[in-house]
Structure 1
Amino acid sequence: MKFYKLLALLSVGVAGVFPTACTDKYEDMENHMPSWLNSNIYDYLSGRGDCTYYIRLIDDCGYTDAMKVSGSNTLFFSNDASFERFFQTNEMGYRSYEDLPYSFKMMLLKLGTIPYSQLLERLSLSDRGQVTFRRTTDFEVEDTIPVVDAEDLPDSKYFAPYRRAGKPIKLLSDATKWTLVQFFPDVMSGKHITDDDFSFVTGIPREADDASLFANKIIQKDIVCQNGYLHELADVLVPPENMAAYIRGNEKVSRFSRLMDRFACPVFYKRDAQGDSIFQTRYFNQSPAYSFTEYNGTNAPGLLYFDPGWNLYQPKGGNTSQPGYETDMGCMFVPTNEAMDRFFSPSGEGSDFFEAFGSWDKVPDNIAADFVANHQKYSFLSSLPSRFGDIKDEAGYEMEVSKENIVDKFVGRNGVVYVTDKVFTPLDYRTVMGPAKIDSLNSIFNQAMTDAQFVYYLRSLKSTYQFFVTPNEYMKDYVDPVAKSYASENYRCNLEFQLTPQNTVAAVPTRTSDGTVIMDNGFPLGSNGTVSNSSILKNRLEDILNCQTLVTESNEAFEAARAGGQEYFITKGYAPVRITQDNKISGAGNERPLTVSKIYNKENGNTYLIDGILQNTTTSIYDVLSSKDDFREFYDMCALLGIFVNNPTSSTVAPGRKVKFLNQYHYTVYVPTNEAIREAQAKGWIPTVGQIENEGDQSVRDSLENVMERFVRYHFQDNSVFIKGEKVENKAYLTSTINEASNKFYPVYVTNKDGNITLVDEADYGTGRVSARVVKTEGVYNLMTRDMTLNSGDKEKATTIEAYTYAVIHQIDDVLWFEQPKGENVKDQK
């Protein structure tokens, strides 16, 4: 029901008189009255002859004497022609003066009365001389207390008991004072509101020096009387509703209104003289100055940015030297029903909403709150039409709104409502996070994104992601890499993730062999046998999310790479994943490929639903090199040089052994065949392990070790390169051997195409020769590894992954050289 209609049901009258303030007292005033000074307010209006309705207001409300005596008031009034138009057009059914209730007459009179005599120029400023956009008047919130029928109450579960009772209740739209919105010349210039802004928002043209209250033009200003100033309005000053009441009463936006009113609550205000309860309507919100986050001890199901019914609304971060409501007001962009239906359809922008819920009424409260809040702006002044090109939502992203999107406007007492022909989807639902946030079947992954603070990455529109989401039913069988390092097999476990009643993620440790729950695990367990330690869980969720997020140049580039045969990709956390042409995906540790069941195209990439967790490998570089006879010669050199270390500190340890000079990144290790290494040794290019071990002269041994280490490190390359990985042509990647002359690392040049990897080393660069090729024998190429560091000096007490290194290992058919080798034969004669 519109507020205008509610006024017909007003139950409480007005008592008291207008407050006045002391002004100069003129002695012998009648003999010293200036000729330009009108008589008192009452006599001036009565003498005009065209203000009979306003005189009747004053008389009927008992303010005849107050308007005659010397005092200090500012009055906004309307002439008889304005009242006649009002009687012909108002929606409340008042067709004559005699139809007006006493309380409505009092409202008309008090709303237009301001204490103290104020010229219009002075009304533009606060008592401290600051520009005042809105101000209060003599009207008090308790002067009119609407009685609202049960069927017209907000449609929320909090109002449901009163709706079911079927009885009207006394309900304030808000228990704070009403304000006037001043579009005065000094306010317009001080707030940088253009004439075009005003005309667009109010629908009336504006000329220089025009002044208006709301969209009501002042046709005569600064009329001076003995006891105050008068300003004549073009129309009767009927107070506009606040934003919430306008939205609820506008049938064209009823879909949006129903969502918004889910967060409306009847809050007890006081009892009136008859002992009846008076309530006020409050909306759950997170605004700094008027937040409302629980009702009768129950937390809000979702929070709007601000309460759209708050009459004394003030933007966030108010100015302490001036009441916040005087400086600005709120703003809302409210989609029409047609726009809402277009969005919420199988082919609309919100197709994933439609797929998950089927109707707006079934959208969960937390999502509905996000949706409504995203259509709120804290500041009308930052949302002026002249600023639409730069306007951002409250998350800081472009709203992409234009004047053409606005189909209607409303200037209320606490803000402006723009009715739009489009829906402004919250950022999180426009991005690859959307499917996880929308569908409750993905709620564990949704909470994981928050707990692991991944939302800050995934909501970026400056990056493109391929994001793999695991539904709740598949959030299990995660091979825990820390637990796998424990000596006791009883402590080694998989984790099965679950969502707690408190909406946090927990994990049940299960035995790796048979899946039974382990109640005595190396991790701290709660009384219910779950891992609930936040640092452990965040660590594992980060591990999963890092492995299930690809950062790509664009969707088109990603699809083009796949179409060209690329199957191996490097994730955000440097983990390798494989995506085959039949949409099967696997991590280095998965026992079987996972299936992509659905793909969502979002603004910053694609979201894929998969039937499992992409599992990282727990195999280290040391594990691979030490276990294969094909890698024996290279491993022996690495072992002699002490490249594999553990070196626990008081706070860190590796589960086994790791390469000492690699960082948290991804690498390629090229392992020459045993025969190629022996041939290089036979030519004297590199020493043998036996030579070094048997060398008695320490300086000679140091020199030989230096030759061997520089050779070995040249086979460790930055960036992981895979057969069926990214296609490159003669691309330079840095190795781990430094050029002592330039103090830069030597490169190796890689060509990866047609299912083959060929290498040109620095010694051969420019000669046109291929230095080595990756051997494509099963079991000696595309071998994926991860070296880890754990968070304790004792791995049996470790609980989290502290750091890691990913690497892929390939056998190559020859050795690589960063410079011409020295020895019996130079490389040119090879």
Structure 2
Amino acid sequence: MKRKINYYLLILPLLAIFASCSRDVFDEYYARPDYLEDPIYQRLEELGNFKNFTALIEKAGYKDILSKSGYWTMFAPNDAAFTTYFQEKGISNVSQIDEATAAKIVRYALVYNAFREDQLSDYQSAQGWVKDNAFRRRTAYYDGYQNKIVNGTPMVVVDANRNGGYAFADNNNKYVTYFTDEYFAAKTLSDVDFNYFYPGKEYTGFNLFDGGVQQADIVAENGIIHEVDKVSLPPLSIGQYLEEDNAKGTASKYSEFYKMLEEHLVTYVFNQTVTTSYKNFTGKSDDVYIKFYNSGLTFSPNSENYLKEADNDGQSDGFTMIAPDNTAMEPFVRDILLKHFPSVDKLPLYVFQDFINAHMVQNAVWPSKTASYDNGLGEDLRFDFNANIIDKKILSNGFFYGSNVIQKSNLFYSVYTSAYLDPAFTLATRLYNSTEIKQMISNIRNKFVLFLPSDTLLRSLGYNYDINSSQWVYTSPTTGLSVSGGAASSRLYRILYNSIVATPNGELDNILTSSGIIRTGDMDFPGEYIKWDHGKLYSAGNEAAGTVVNIVGEPDVQQNGVTYYIDNLLGFTDRAQGLEIKELAEMPGSQFSSFFNYLKNSILYNTTTGAIQGVSLGTSYTFVVPNNAAITQAVRDGVLPGTPSTGVANYTPSLQGDKDKVADFISYHILTNVTASDDGLTTGQFETLRKDSFGEKTYIQVESTRSPSTLVFKSITANSSSANYIKASSNNLADRSLIHLVDNYLKF
């Protein structure tokens, strides 16, 4: 045992010597290199012109953080910047700045990650750096829990940090905005854009808000310092800016706009997880509520995170709100929104959503590029940024413009408005909103006439919307049979679409004192034809039923046309077109009779239903009917079978060849998938029902003019022929079709 103890006594000094040597080698290898710059706090002290800022860093409790390792960008205001700040705030030195303000200045000057000047204009996307596509960076500052009075009740509130949502691990950090030559060049911006927000300030090529960067890229161990000549406090978000303005009472500029937003599109939702976190952090027992803006808005004015489709997308863009002032809001609310509603609180939710969205843009709208942006409704911005903008601010989550006019939105100045802002027309509005009709008739750049049925009229004729099952219902007033869902909505859609007429040249300006025929729908998606006669309207359905549609009451004149109110529906007919031709042929002295005699005795015609083979209900057709003389000539020419000297009445072909002749003749005089009239809207070559001996399609040429009214049909064959419509006997309505009488037959 003694030997063993002596052995250890000999070994221990040797181990101590070896350990000392190893520690020296270790410390030397891992020692802080002599060439490494000091951390940010020490560098600011060394530079000597940041005494006020370093004092604030200590007061804010950030000295230790900024004296250690890290990876920061610091926009550090120099002492000259603080001299100006003291003068603006009416204080004499840094000791008069309280702890909370000190923390705001320091944390807002501190940007996550270290960026040299040449990196700040690049966007850190998930796919890599996108050159010259950034003008903002996330800072270390966030508002966190806020004590507010909501509807007279004290409340602890946190802002939503997503558009319509909240993520628990996100503090909703504010962003800082800067301007660089690289970004401006890439976006074709200039000092004009800078000076629009900061008139009289100098654009230097690298500015932090309206301050200049005096020295860039000061290297520190834990980041990069950029010396700036202005002290920046965290700006408000767009939502906070409106809230602060509203708190000014009678001096507020935007209180009417703010109230519409706050009272109708904001909810405060209690959240247990956030409440627990608050209690753990503060020791207080208050419940915490998240302030949510309606998810139907283009963005949440209190979210600092931009879209958050990618983690850093806030570097490359921000939001824009253009808020009308009270002088613009008051007449708009009175004369437009409340034209048919008793008070603002009676307006439907979608009206508030649409109005606010009309003043929102999901991008930062640069003043020299306003024509490049659309609002939340997909409309161009209808403001004169020189004459209409009375206030402009770069805020923490985007740009704010105050305006002396409202956005003249399609929804509030079009014939669509007549239904949209009148509670008597909710059914029509509901169908418009669920189809392309809304977009079509609300386009204030296109002219329309709208024939508008009330809810009372639609319900009296069997149409309604079942809220409980979320579907349309139609009950026939005559049979009592009901259909629902798509079958009912399709019926109503067809009727309402045929109640819309594109009038680019004022075609219906004299609707109360004239008569005529016109195509419904717009230029891209034609509807059916209807007729008017001194304030009375007729569709194919009305003529078949022997009813009329009267224009009643005073018209509603809008920016893109006129809305007329009606006492009946422009319905459609389920009668086969053959029955319409039969009815025309049976009129005394009819010029349709010879053609119909061949038709009714042909292999194409169903004498029971009036259906013509190859002709389907619900498809567009044009029937070109040669008059009696033309049919007789076709018989003389051998195109049709028969004996001209004995007439063609009730001629029934018996031979198959004769039957085929008749079928070919009739089919060649029916155009498919097109309805042609004398309005100049339909010209060109169009397919007929006839197939040639090889089964190929055949065509005829249509030529139409509106003024003067002409309609000519021409054969496209070696033996071409043409037929002119006889106006007085043409433009006869049928299911999605027109039936014309012409002075010649078409050769094939």
Measured against the shorter chain, the TM-score band is: 0.7 to 0.9
- How do residues 66-465 of structure 1 correspond to structure 2 at under 5 angstroms? 74-89=73-88, 100-114=97-111, 118-125=115-122, 129-130=129-130, 132-142=134-144, 145-148=145-148, 150=149, 153=150, 163-165=151-153, 167-172=154-159, 175-189=171-185, 192-203=188-199, 205-212=201-208, 214-224=209-219, 229-250=224-245, 251-261=252-262, 262-267=264-269, 268=271, 269-270=274-275, 271-272=278-279, 273-285=283-295, 303-314=296-307, 318-319=309-310, 323-344=312-333, 346=335, 351=336, 353-357=337-341, 362-380=346-364, 383-404=365-386, 405-459=388-442, 463-465=446-448
**Which whole-Å CA distance do the structure 1 matches of 2:331 and 2:325 have between them?**
10
Give the secondary structure class of the aligned counterpart of 1:110: helix
Cross-structure match for 1:589: 541
TM-score, normalised to structure 2, is: 0.75
CA distance change for structure 1 residues 237 and 749 in 2, over 3 Å: closer, same or farther?
A: closer
Amino acid in structure 2 at the alignment position of 1:399: L
**Which whole-Å CA distance do the structure 1 matches of 2:396 and 2:137 have between them?**
10
Cα distance, 1:312 vs structure 2: 1.8
Q: Does 1:580 align with 2:533?
A: yes
Q: Which moved more, 1:675-684 or 1:600-609?
A: 675-684
**Which whole-Å CA distance do the structure 1 matches of 2:459 and 2:528 have between them?**
20
Cross-structure match for 1:619: 575
**Which whole-Å CA distance do the structure 2 matches of 1:508 and 1:126 have between them?**
56
* Superposed CA offset, 1:251-310 (max 9, x none): 21222222222322223332332222333322122xxxxxxxxxxxxxxxxx10111110
Give the secondary structure class of the aligned counterpart of 2:304: coil
**Which whole-Å CA distance do the structure 1 matches of 2:680 and 2:184 have between them?**
60
Give the secondary structure class of the aligned counterpart of 2:451: strand
Cα distance, 1:416 vs structure 2: 0.8
2:86·2:92 contact (CA, 8 Å) conserved in 1? yes
**Which whole-Å CA distance do the structure 1 matches of 2:666 and 2:220 have between them?**
99
Give the secondary structure class of the aligned counterpart of 2:256: helix
* Superposed CA offset, 1:593-617 (max 9, x none): 3224343444544333222211223
Amino acid in structure 1 at the alignment position of 2:101: F
CA distance change for structure 1 residues 467 and 690 in 2, over 3 Å: closer, same or farther?
A: closer
* Superposed CA offset, 1:678-733 (max 9, x none): 798689884337997575xxxxx3443455445545665787688xx7599x9999
**Which whole-Å CA distance do the structure 1 matches of 2:380 and 2:105 have between them?**
42
Instruction: Flag structure 2 segments of 5+ consecutive residues without an equivalent.
Output: 1-27, 162-170, 246-251, 643-647, 717-721
Instruction: Flag structure 1 segments of 5+ consecutive residues without an equivalent.
Output: 1-23, 154-162, 286-302, 479-495, 524-530, 647-653, 696-700, 764-768, 787-804, 821-830
**Which whole-Å CA distance do the structure 2 matches of 1:731 and 1:42 have between them?**
82
- How do residues 366-765 of structure 1 correspond to structure 2 at under 5 angstroms? 366-380=350-364, 383-404=365-386, 405-459=388-442, 463-476=446-459, 478=461, 496-501=462-467, 504-512=470-478, 518=480, 521=481, 531-532=483-484, 534-552=485-503, 554-559=504-509, 565-572=514-521, 574-581=527-534, 583-590=535-542, 591-626=547-582, 629-630=586-587, 633-645=594-606, 657-658=611-612, 660=614, 664-670=619-625, 672=627, 686-688=640-642, 693=652, 701-709=655-663, 712=666, 716=670, 726=679, 745=699
1:314·1:330 contact (CA, 8 Å) conserved in 2? no
Cross-structure match for 1:794: none
2:141·2:234 contact (CA, 8 Å) conserved in 1? no
Amino acid in structure 1 at the alignment position of 2:739: V
**Which whole-Å CA distance do the structure 2 matches of 1:386 and 1:711 have between them?**
65
* Superposed CA offset, 1:2-31 (max 9, x none): xxxxxxxxxxxxxxxxxxxxxx999597xx
Cross-structure match for 1:156: none
Give the secondary structure class of the aligned counterpart of 2:380: coil
Amino acid in structure 2 at the alignment position of 1:620: A
* Superposed CA offset, 1:524-565 (max 9, x none): xxxxxxx43x2212321222123212234x1424437x5994
**Which whole-Å CA distance do the structure 1 matches of 2:92 and 2:455 have between them?**
62
2:111·2:137 contact (CA, 8 Å) conserved in 1? no
Cα distance, 1:656 vs structure 2: 5.6
1:331·1:415 contact (CA, 8 Å) conserved in 2? yes
**Which whole-Å CA distance do the structure 2 matches of 1:641 and 1:172 have between them?**
77
Give the secondary structure class of the aligned counterpart of 2:100: helix
1:243·1:417 contact (CA, 8 Å) conserved in 2? yes
CA distance change for structure 1 residues 691 and 45 in 2, over 3 Å: closer, same or farther?
A: closer
Amino acid in structure 1 at the alignment position of 2:500: T
* Superposed CA offset, 1:371-402 (max 9, x none): 1112211121xx22232233333454432444
TM-score, normalised to structure 1, is: 0.68
* Superposed CA offset, 1:156-200 (max 9, x none): xxxxxxx243x3545557541222223244444455543322222
**Which whole-Å CA distance do the structure 1 matches of 2:290 and 2:198 have between them?**
29
**Which whole-Å CA distance do the structure 1 matches of 2:60 and 2:653 have between them?**
115
Cα distance, 1:410 vs structure 2: 0.8
Cα distance, 1:117 vs structure 2: 5.6
**Which whole-Å CA distance do the structure 2 matches of 1:611 and 1:743 have between them?**
44
**Which whole-Å CA distance do the structure 2 matches of 1:682 and 1:122 have between them?**
89
**Which whole-Å CA distance do the structure 2 matches of 1:78 and 1:450 have between them?**
53
Q: Structure 1 vs Structure 2: percent identity of aligned residues?
A: 18
2:630·2:745 contact (CA, 8 Å) conserved in 1? no
**Which whole-Å CA distance do the structure 2 matches of 1:228 and 1:633 have between them?**
96
2:141·2:173 contact (CA, 8 Å) conserved in 1? yes
* Superposed CA offset, 1:65-103 (max 9, x none): 55567876543333455445445545xx98975664422
**Which whole-Å CA distance do the structure 2 matches of 1:431 and 1:147 have between them?**
43
**Which whole-Å CA distance do the structure 1 matches of 2:114 and 2:579 have between them?**
89
Cross-structure match for 1:56: 55
Give the secondary structure class of the aligned counterpart of 1:56: helix
Q: Which moved more, 1:364-373 or 1:396-405?
A: 396-405
Cα distance, 1:114 vs structure 2: 4.0
Cross-structure match for 1:20: none
**Which whole-Å CA distance do the structure 2 matches of 1:275 and 1:455 have between them?**
50
1:621·1:807 contact (CA, 8 Å) conserved in 2? no
Give the secondary structure class of the aligned counterpart of 2:509: helix
Cα distance, 1:444 vs structure 2: 0.4
1:498·1:507 contact (CA, 8 Å) conserved in 2? yes
1:599·1:606 contact (CA, 8 Å) conserved in 2? yes
Give the secondary structure class of the aligned counterpart of 2:305: coil
**Which whole-Å CA distance do the structure 2 matches of 1:42 and 1:254 have between them?**
47
CA RMSD of aligned residues (A): 4.7
